[in-house]
Structure 1
Amino acid sequence: MTLAAQKPELDLHIDRTLELPMYQQICQRFKTAIEQGHLHPGDRVPAARALAAELNLARGTVDMAYRILTDEGYFQVRGAAGTIVSPSLPQPTVLKSQAVLPEQPSAVVIEHNGKAPRPLQLGLPALDAFPRKVWNRLVTHRLRYSEPMRFGYPHPAGYDQLRERIATYLGVSRGVACLPEQVFVTTGLRNTLELTLSSLSTPGDAFWFEDPGYILARPFLQNEAVRLVPVPVDEDGMMVEEGKRREPYAKFAMVTPSHQSPLGMMLSLERRMALLEWADQAGSWIIEDDYDSEFRYQGRPLPALKSLDRNDRVVYSGTFSKVMFPGLRLAYVVAPISAVARFNAVANNLNAGCPYLLQASVADFMADGHFARHLKKMRSLYAERRLVTQRVFQQVLGDRVRIDLRPGGLHMLAKLADHENDVLLAEQLNLAGLSVYPLSRWYIQAKPQQGLLLGFANVLDENDAMRLALRLKEALQ
C-alpha cells in the first residue's frame, strides 16, 4: 500500500443557506484548498473583483475574506502583481490528503501516465527521431491561417481532409479499398472499440479474444456488455477452429493479424481465410487491430485482413500513435459499408470529435509527403535498433533469456525458463528504473509462458543497449 496525495478541484462556491457568513465561507474554502494541496505557496489567487463577479457577491465581501487570510498569513499581497498564497507558509500548514489507496500492480499495466518514458517502455515509437521542426511548422501554419469556422466544434466523425488522406493511404499501403465516409477518426483503440460496440453489439454478445491478447483492451471489454471468449494462439495466430468449438456463433472476433500482440507472429493466410469464412457464415464481425503493421523488417508483408474481406465483415482499426507519436491521441476505424449509417449515428451521440488543429496538421503531414518519408526513415532506424538491442541483450544476459526476433513490430520478447517468475522479475526491473512487462499477465486461460516484453524503439545505439543490458543483468541477479 502507498500514500497517495489527492488533489481535488478548487471549490470556492458558497452556500447561501448556511448561517456561516459568506466571507467566512470564502476563507474556509481557500484554507481547505491550501491544506489539500490544490493551492501551493507562491500560487496566484483570483483577483477580488473577478471572484466577486464569479460568485455574484459584493466586492466588499471578497475583500474582507482576503484581508482576513492575509492577516492570518495565508495570503500575501503584491500590489500590481496580485495576491498569492504566502511563500512562507510553514510546512505543517500545507497538508496533503493522506488517503491510503491501493497500489497499482507495478508490472501489469503499461504506463500511460504523462511522465517521461522509462527505458524499454512498450508502445512508444522513437521519440528522438520525430521531425519536430516540420511538425511545429505545420501546426503553426494551421493555427495562424485556418478560417474562423474551423474553431467551432469538430465533426464527430473526423476532419474531412484527414479522412480522405487515411483512405488514400490505406488503399496504397495496406490494400484496403475504402471510401472517406467509412473512415472515423477516434482518440485511440478504446474509443474505436466503444464506437464499434455501440454501433454493432447487443448485451451479452460473445467476443472472441486472443489468448494471450492485448492487455489494455481486455479491461475495457470486460467492463462492456460483451462476453469475452479466450481463444488460444499458436505459431499461425488465432486458432479459428478452437474458437468455433468454444463459441461458434460469437458476434465478434478481435485479432492482431499483422503482428500478434504480444507474441509477434502473423496470422497465416490459411487462418485469415478461415476467419473470414466463419464471419460470413455466422454473421459475425471481425475487428482487425492493425496497430504497427507499418514496421516490418523481414520478407514481404501479408496484406491487411480487411483487404481480403469480400463480404463486408471486417472493422479495420489503425492508429497514429506508433507511426507518429502517442501524444496526438489520434486513431481511426474503417467501418463496413453496411454499417456506416450506424457508425455515423453513434458518433454523433458518442463523440465530441477530435481536436481540429491536430487532425488538420496530420492531414498536411500526409499530403506534403512527410508521413511517407518518416515511415521510410523509421523502418530503417528500427531495423538497426532492433538488431543491436537483440544482439547486445542476448550477449550480456546469456542463457538466462532467449530473444528470437519476429519480422516486425516495436517490441521484442525475452523468453524465460518455465521455472522463472516473470512477474517478480519485472517488478525487480521496474524498481531499478526500467519499464519491463511480464508476458504471463497477458494470458487469460491458456497456460502462460514466462517472458519479458521489451520496447526497443528508443534504444539509441550500441552503447545505450549495453548500458541497459547491464542494468537488466544487475537487477536480475
Structure 2
Amino acid sequence: MRPTPATLITLLEQEDSHGGLLTLRLQNALRRLIAEGHIPPGDRLPSSRLLAHEAGVSRDTVESAYQQLELEGYLQRRSGSGTFAAETDHAFPLHKMDRKRANTPITASALSARGREVARSGGVQDHNDAHPFVILPDVEQFPSAIWRSLTNRVLSDISPRLLYADAQGLPELRSEIARYLATHRGVTCRPEQILILNSSQQALGLIATLLLEPGDTLAFENPGFHGARLGFEGAGLRFAPVPVDRDGLRTDRLTERAAGAKAVYVTPSHQYPTGATLSLERRLALIHWANENGSWIIEDDYDSEFRYDSRPISAIQGLDPSGRVLYLGTFSKVLFPSLRIAYLVLPESLMPAFVAARSLIDGHTATLPQAVLSRFMSEGHFTAHIRRMRDLYRGRRDAFLTAFEKHLAPYAQAQHPAGGLHIAAYLRNGLDEAETVKAAAAEKIELPTLGRLYFGRTGARKSGWLLGFAALSPHRAEAAMRRLARALKALG
C-alpha cells in the first residue's frame, strides 16, 4: 500500500525545514505524493491507525490530515472501505503535465517592453532616507500593547538596515512571510521570491506595467473586485469577463470568453464578492490554461486567513510547477489597514525588474513597520492573533446572519460565507438597488452594492449589497439592520 513509511518520513523531514504543526507537514507530504502521481487515483491509502503507527505520529494527526485532504478533493473516504486517492475526471492532472514545458525557466524576455526598459535602467538607490456595513477588520481588537512593546525594542536596536532600506523588503520579514506561506497557505517560495510592497494595488500596478502591454486582454472574474479592475483599466488593459458560479471562476469558459488573454485575475480562496471557493478541478484547469497559452495567473489571496467552517484552502501557487502564478497577499485585512504592508511572490528571475520599478515608484516600504512586523511574526503573535480573530469573526458572522434573517429577510437573501469579512445579499421582489442605497443614506447607513461589480448589463447581473460584519459588535450590527429595515419598509 502507498505511501510507504520511508517515503513519508523523508517528505516529513523535508517539510520540517519550514517548521509548523506536524499535521500540516503530513498534509503537505500527502498532497505532494498525490499531486505528483506517486499515489495514483483510486489507490487505497493505509488506515489512519496503520499509517500513524508506521510513520510514528498520533492517529489524530493522520485523521486531521485525511479530513483536510478530503475537503480539498485529494482524497475520498468510503465508509467501511477505507481512504482512497480521489478518482476524478481531472483533464489536466499535475503528474501528467508536460514537465519539459513546465520546467522551462522564466526569463527576462517575458517582460513587457516597458518592463525591459525599467530593468535596463537599474532603478534608483535611496539613501538614509467604522461605521455599519463597511468591510473592515476590527482594529480595536488588535494587540496594540504588544505592537508598542515590539516597536520600542526595535527602536532601541537601530541599525544601518533601518536607515538604508532594501527596495525588495527586509530580509528577515521576507523569511518570516516565506515560512508562514509554506506552512499555512501551501505556497512554494523562497525569501528571494518575495517583494514587500505598500498594498495589493501597488502589486497589480507593477504587474500591469512590467508583464502586460496597453491593449492586452486580461481575463477577469464577473463579478469581480472593483479596485483591481480600476487599477488595470488605468494601465490600458482590455477585459474579458468570465462568469463565476458556486465553484468560482468558470474555467470552461476561458477559451470562449478570453481567447488570447495574457493573464487572468482571480480571488480563488474567497471570491470577491460572492465568497465562492475555486474548486481543485478548476485550479488544475486554470494552471493548464496558463501553461498552454503562456499566460499569467494573478492570484489575489486578500483575506484567506479568515475561513470559519473549515481550514483555509491551499493556494493555487503551490500547485503550479511552471512559475506562471503571481501571488498577492496583504496584512491590511489581517492586522490593520494603515499598516500598509503587502507582498508579491514572483519567479526569482523577474525580481530585478520588479525591484527596480518599485524603487522608481516610492523607494521602499517604511522600514520600522517591517522590522516590527517581522518580530511580531517570529515571536508567534501573528498566528495567535489570526486564531483569536477567526473565532471572533465566526461568532460575529453567525450573529449577523441571525439578525439579518430577523430584520432584512423580506428584502434580500443573504449568502452564508465560509470566510472573509463580508456577506453578499441579493435583493428580492424586484427592489431597485439604487433606491435601497438612497433609503439607507437617509438613515446615515452606507450600503455598498453588488451591481457595480459586474461587467455590462447582461442577464447574469444581480442586484444586492455587500455587508461587512467583522468590524461591528453584534449589538451595533443588529441596531443598524433595524434602522435599514425601517427605511426599506417605506419602499413597499
TM-score range, shorter chain: 0.7 to 0.9
In the aligned structure 1, how far is the partner of 2:161 from the partner of 2:351?
24
Deviations 1:427-470 (A, max 9, x none): 33134222321111111134321111100002213x32321221
**Map of 1:24-423 to 2, 5 A cutoff?**
117-122=130-135, 124-147=136-159, 149-417=160-428, 419-423=430-434
Instruction: Report SS of the residue matched to 1:399.
Output: coil
Percent of aligned positions with the same letter in both sequences? 40
Taking structure 1 as reference, are residues 432 and 140 closer, same or farther at Cα in structure 2, changes over 3 Å only?
farther
Deviations 1:64-92 (A, max 9, x none): xxxxxxxxxxxxxxxxxxxxxxxxxxxxx
Structure number with greater Rg is: 1
Contact 1:167 1:178 in 2 (8 A): yes
Deviations 1:174-199 (A, max 9, x none): 01110111100111111001122222
Deviations 1:87-112 (A, max 9, x none): xxxxxxxxxxxxxxxxxxxxxxxxxx
Contact 1:418 1:450 in 2 (8 A): no
Instruction: Report SS of the residue matched to 1:258.
Output: coil
Q: For residue 219 of structure 1, report the CA deviation from its aligned partner.
A: 1.4
- Name the structure 2 match of 1:28: none
Q: Which moved more, 1:371-380 or 1:337-346?
A: 337-346
User: Are residues 1:469 and 2:469 paired?
Assistant: no
Contact 1:156 1:351 in 2 (8 A): no
In the aligned structure 1, how far is the partner of 2:152 from the partner of 2:299?
35
Q: For residue 153 of structure 1, report the CA deviation from its aligned partner.
A: 4.2
Q: Which moved more, 1:323-332 or 1:419-428?
A: 419-428
Instruction: Report SS of the residue matched to 1:296.
Output: coil
- The list of structure 1 runs, each at least 4 consecutive aligned residues, that deviate by more than 6 angstroms after superposition, is none
- Name the structure 2 match of 1:67: none
Taking structure 1 as reference, are residues 206 and 164 closer, same or farther at Cα in structure 2, changes over 3 Å only?
same
User: TM-score, normalised on structure 1?
Assistant: 0.72
- Name the structure 2 match of 1:459: 472
User: TM-score, normalised on structure 2?
Assistant: 0.70
Amino acid in structure 2 at the alignment position of 1:196: I
Amino acid in structure 2 at the alignment position of 1:357: L
Instruction: Report SS of the residue matched to 1:377.
Output: helix
Q: For residue 256 of structure 1, report the CA deviation from its aligned partner.
A: 0.2
Instruction: Report SS of the residue matched to 2:196.
Output: strand
Instruction: Report SS of the residue matched to 1:358.
Output: helix
In the aligned structure 2, how far is the partner of 1:213 from the partner of 1:223?
16
Unaligned runs of 5+ in 1: 1-116
Taking structure 1 as reference, are residues 189 and 134 closer, same or farther at Cα in structure 2, changes over 3 Å only?
same
Deviations 1:397-456 (A, max 9, x none): 232221121211110112212611123312331342223211111111343211111000
Deviations 1:112-167 (A, max 9, x none): xxxxx211101x111121111111111222223212x2453422111111111111
- Name the structure 2 match of 1:449: 462
Instruction: Report SS of the residue matched to 2:244.
Output: strand
Q: For residue 235 of structure 1, report the CA deviation from its aligned partner.
A: 1.4
Amino acid in structure 2 at the alignment position of 1:408: G
In the aligned structure 2, how far is the partner of 1:141 from the partner of 1:171?
28
Contact 1:263 1:413 in 2 (8 A): yes
In the aligned structure 2, how far is the partner of 1:432 from the partner of 1:141?
46
In the aligned structure 1, how far is the partner of 2:340 from the partner of 2:438?
28
Q: Which moved more, 1:396-405 or 1:208-217?
A: 396-405
Taking structure 1 as reference, are residues 418 and 201 closer, same or farther at Cα in structure 2, changes over 3 Å only?
farther
In the aligned structure 2, how far is the partner of 1:273 from the partner of 1:423?
39
In the aligned structure 1, how far is the partner of 2:274 from the partner of 2:331?
22
Amino acid in structure 2 at the alignment position of 1:209: F
In the aligned structure 2, how far is the partner of 1:326 from the partner of 1:454?
18
**Map of 1:9-24 to 2, 5 A cutoff?**
none
In the aligned structure 1, how far is the partner of 2:403 from the partner of 2:275?
20
Instruction: Report SS of the residue matched to 1:413.
Output: strand
Q: Which moved more, 1:320-329 or 1:298-307?
A: 298-307
Taking structure 1 as reference, are residues 430 and 335 closer, same or farther at Cα in structure 2, changes over 3 Å only?
farther
Unaligned runs of 5+ in 2: 1-129
Measured on the aligned residues, the alpha-carbon RMSD in Å equals 1.5
Taking structure 1 as reference, are residues 431 and 166 closer, same or farther at Cα in structure 2, changes over 3 Å only?
farther
Contact 1:170 1:176 in 2 (8 A): yes
Instruction: Report SS of the residue matched to 1:294.
Output: coil
In the aligned structure 2, how far is the partner of 1:156 from the partner of 1:428?
48
